[in-house]
Amino acid sequence: MKISIGNDHAGPEYKKAIVEMLKAKGHEVTNYGTDSVDSVDYPDFAHAVANDVSNEKADFGIIICGSGNGIAMAANKHEKVRAALCWMKEIATLARQHNNANIISIPARFTSIPQAIEMVETFLNTDFEGGRHQNRVDKISC
């Protein structure tokens, strides 16, 4: 799988751990995130990941900031992007099953690194259920 990842200054350690896990599982990873805790602007990284997903250069995206909200808001401005803010694996499951989310947004200040890894694994290994959910997903875009 091709996966794009981006993070602001709240998530370098999260990104590092997630990228290690993804590469160990044989995924191709494009890294747009910062490796520093120096303040940066999260939209820069959200847009890079969302562009890859929107243009089908990546199968999925992972974005990380302090709350997970701002970076998800920026990513969701892109056509064909459905970024879901997740803080536990059950939310990640439903984001895929019911919403066909293609980017997971992780709140680094409210989850642990092991939780984040578990959410990413769950997100990538859960299929969209389609059916009654497809009609709803079709109504998301403006």
The residues assigned a catalytic role are 65, 98
CA 108 to the chain's CA centroid: 12
Structure tokens at 93: 């499951």
- Closest among 86, 134, 84, 79 to 110, alpha carbons compared: 86
CA 29 – CA 3 distance, rounded (Å): 5
